């Protein structure tokens, strides 16, 4: 049967009318807590895997004494890094839980200089750095856009414009994913757009090759959108946090001057690739159902359109003004920097009622603490002296030419993020990238290109949230539209 969007909308309205806003938020939070994703788990910490990680760390410390005989703090930091990375890679615990272990373990192992009290102050200050206020601001801007139904209105307009030309509609959705990922984040944008696309997908058979191409296009465009701005993905935030800890910085204008043409070209190339693969992706059942000269169209986008009030327009204008201030460095400096602009907008949004307290409490705080724990790990690696030792060793193996060095670092990052979460790879490898870039005099370039490299790998679905988001999409019978081989076929050449 076909999905009746209007009937579903009436059912949702009747259900929401019987519940209070607080109860609705409670049910939504409960539903979110039951879900899974990259680094999220219904199960508590896995004891056997955690024990194995602890044993590995215990073995790594004495072994490192042979390689680092005169650096006791670096030896203990090797144990900390071994435990943290093995916990992340094996998913022995939710990523954010592992990240929060970093500060207390770093103090217990005394990897920094000074007393334990002094070490604790330094490492805790690195957890909630100024970069996290930009992430929080991104969540608030996302809420403002959702409240105004901006993504639904845009998708409906695209359907009216390109509904008779489904491949142009797919290209438009991909550019919408790029724009929303750059304005919000590539964690929030795919969540919003998958809800917009689900009614369209449910009007198509589960084995429809167009539905597969549309979901892959959404994943790829949101991955590419994660490169677009300094706050559009956790890995960008992590990279800039580590760069700022070393005294460097990249302005929004500098980042956008590189990312806008690169990302636009990337989305168009991804669309051409999906168009090519579409010709060879039809199943036997789909071919048997198809009729000669049958014209495919895109179903109508159905959503409960609310009135565009003066308050919503003012909220949108203030959100766009904040983004414009981020991009204009002199204006941001007038307020004390982009982080202070972010704090000011969050305060205004809460104070004026743009977002409710329930909405604020529902944000992805686990993501913020994951990034914060990564910042603490970066400080531990640097403060212990381990980073200097690693840099000296890597510098002897890599090219001395700045251009070739950056190219080699990108290849390493792309290779790592093919098999490991993009965010985890950035948290682990970016301190080394910054240090090597500093030594070659190209720290900003290496971080920018490295940040782009951390988001580009698409071959395996479990390495990024946009990929997982598309992979987990299922029809009314619980049957997924995508499988692992779909990502391998399309994501490897990407």
The one-character DSSP state at 494 is: -
Distances (CA, A) of 131 to 142, 253, 272, 375: 17, 17, 36, 10
Residue 166 has, within 13 A of its CA and on its CB side, a CA count of 20
Instruction: Measure the CA–CA gap between 434 and 453, rounded to whole angstroms.
Output: 14
- Kindly state the DSSP code that residue 464 receives in the 8-state scheme: S
Q: What is the CA radius of gyration of the chain?
A: 23
Strand-pair partners of 5: none
Using left for φ > 0, alpha for ψ between -120 and 50, and beta otherwise, residue 318 falls in: alpha
Which tens digit of pLDDT belongs to each residue from 51-102?
Answer: 999 999 999 988 988 888 888 898 898 899 889 888 877 778 877 888 889 9
How many Cβ atoms sit within 10 Å of the Cβ of residue 402? 15
Q: What is the pLDDT of residue 36?
A: 40
Distance, in Å, from the CA atom of 489 to the CA atom of 494, rounded to the nearest integer, reads 9
Q: What is the pLDDT of residue 195?
A: 67
Report in angstroms the alpha-carbon separations of 419 from 51, 158, 458, 462, 479. Answer: 23, 35, 10, 8, 25
- Report residue 171 as tokens: 């290209």
State residue 289's pLDDT score.
Answer: 58
Decide: 270 and 221 in contact? Cβ < 8 Å. Answer: yes
Would you say 373 and 127 are in contact if contact means Cβ atoms under 8 Å apart?
A: yes
Contacts of 383 (CB under 8 A, 6+ apart): 73, 111, 112, 113, 122
Other beta carbons within 10 angstroms of residue 325's beta carbon come to 20
Distance of CA 98 to the CA centre of its chain: 18
Question: Which of the residues in the chain have pLDDT under 50?
Answer: 1-5, 32-42
Distance CA 186, CA 365 (A): 16
Quote the CA–CA distance of 379 and 73 in Å, as a whole number: 13
Quote the DSSP letter at residue 477. Answer: T
- Quickly count: other Cβ atoms within 10 Å of residue 210's Cβ: 22
User: Which pLDDT value is given to residue 491?
Assistant: 72
Q: What is the pLDDT of residues 152-175, one digit of tens each?
A: 777 778 778 887 888 888 898 899
In whole angstroms, give the CA distance from residue 374 to residue 378.
Answer: 6
Q: Is 401 exposed, middle or buried (0-12, 13-18, 19+ CB in 10 A)?
A: exposed
- Angle at CA 201, nearest 5°, toward 23 and 215? 95
pLDDT at 441: 78
- pLDDT for the residue 199: 66
∠ CA 428-179-230 to the nearest 5 degrees?
35
């Amino acid at each position: 049967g076909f999905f009746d969007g209007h009937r579903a909308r009436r059912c949702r309205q009747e259900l929401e009318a019987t519940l209070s806003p607080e109860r609705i938020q409670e049910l939504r939070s409960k539903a979110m807590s039951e879900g899974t994703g990259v680094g999220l788990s219904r199960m508590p910490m896995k004891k056997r895997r955690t024990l194995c990680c602890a044993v590995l760390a215990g073995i790594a410390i004495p072994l490192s004494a042979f390689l680092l005989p005169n650096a006791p703090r670096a030896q203990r930091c090797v144990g900390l890094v071994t435990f943290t990375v093995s916990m992340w890679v094996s998913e022995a615990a939710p990523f954010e839980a592992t990240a929060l272990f970093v500060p207390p373990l770093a103090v217990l192992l005394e990897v920094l200089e000074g007393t334990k009290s002094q070490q604790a102050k330094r490492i805790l200050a690195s957890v909630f750095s100024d970069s996290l206020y930009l992430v929080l601001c991104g969540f608030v801007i996302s809420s403002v856009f959702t409240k105004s139904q901006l993504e639904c209105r845009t998708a409906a307009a695209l359907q009216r414009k390109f509904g008779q030309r489904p491949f142009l509609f797919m290209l438009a959705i991909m550019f919408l994913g790029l724009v929303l990922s750059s304005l919000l984040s590539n964690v929030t944008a795919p969540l919003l757009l998958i809800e917009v696309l689900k009614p369209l997908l449910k009007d198509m058979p589960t084995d429809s090759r167009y539905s597969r191409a549309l979901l892959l296009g959404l994943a790829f465009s949101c991955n590419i959108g994660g490169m677009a701005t300094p706050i559009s993905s956790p890995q960008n935030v992590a990279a800039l946090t580590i760069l700022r800890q070393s005294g460097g910085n990249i302005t929004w204008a500098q980042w956008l001057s590189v990312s806008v043409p690169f990302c636009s070209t990337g989305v168009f190339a991804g669309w051409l690739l999906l168009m090519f693969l579409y010709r060879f992706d039809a199943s036997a059942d789909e071919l048997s159902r198809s009729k000669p000269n049958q014209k495919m169209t895109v179903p109508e986008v159905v959503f409960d359109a609310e009135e565009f009030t003066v308050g919503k327009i003012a909220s949108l204008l203030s959100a766009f003004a904040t983004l414009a201030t981020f991009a204009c460095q002199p204006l941001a400096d007038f307020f004390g920097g982009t982080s202070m602009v972010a704090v000011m907008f969050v305060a205004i949004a809460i104070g004026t009622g743009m977002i409710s307290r329930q909405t604020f409490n529902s944000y992805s705080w686990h993501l913020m603490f994951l990034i914060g724990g990564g910042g603490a790990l970066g400080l531990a690696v640097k403060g212990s002296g381990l980073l200097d030792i690693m840099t000296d060793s890597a510098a002897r193996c890599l090219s001395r030419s700045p251009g070739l060095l950056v190219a080699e670092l990108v290849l390493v990052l792309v290779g790592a993020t093919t098999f490991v979460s993009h965010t985890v790879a950035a948290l682990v490898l970016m301190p080394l990238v910054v240090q090597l870039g500093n030594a070659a005099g190209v720290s900003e370039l290496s971080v920018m290109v490295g940040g782009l490299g951390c988001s580009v790998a698409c071959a395996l679905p479990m390495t990024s949230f946009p990929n997982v988001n598309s992979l987990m999409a299922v029809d009314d019978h619980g049957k997924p539209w995508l499988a692992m081989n779909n990502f391998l076929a399309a994501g490897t050449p990407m």
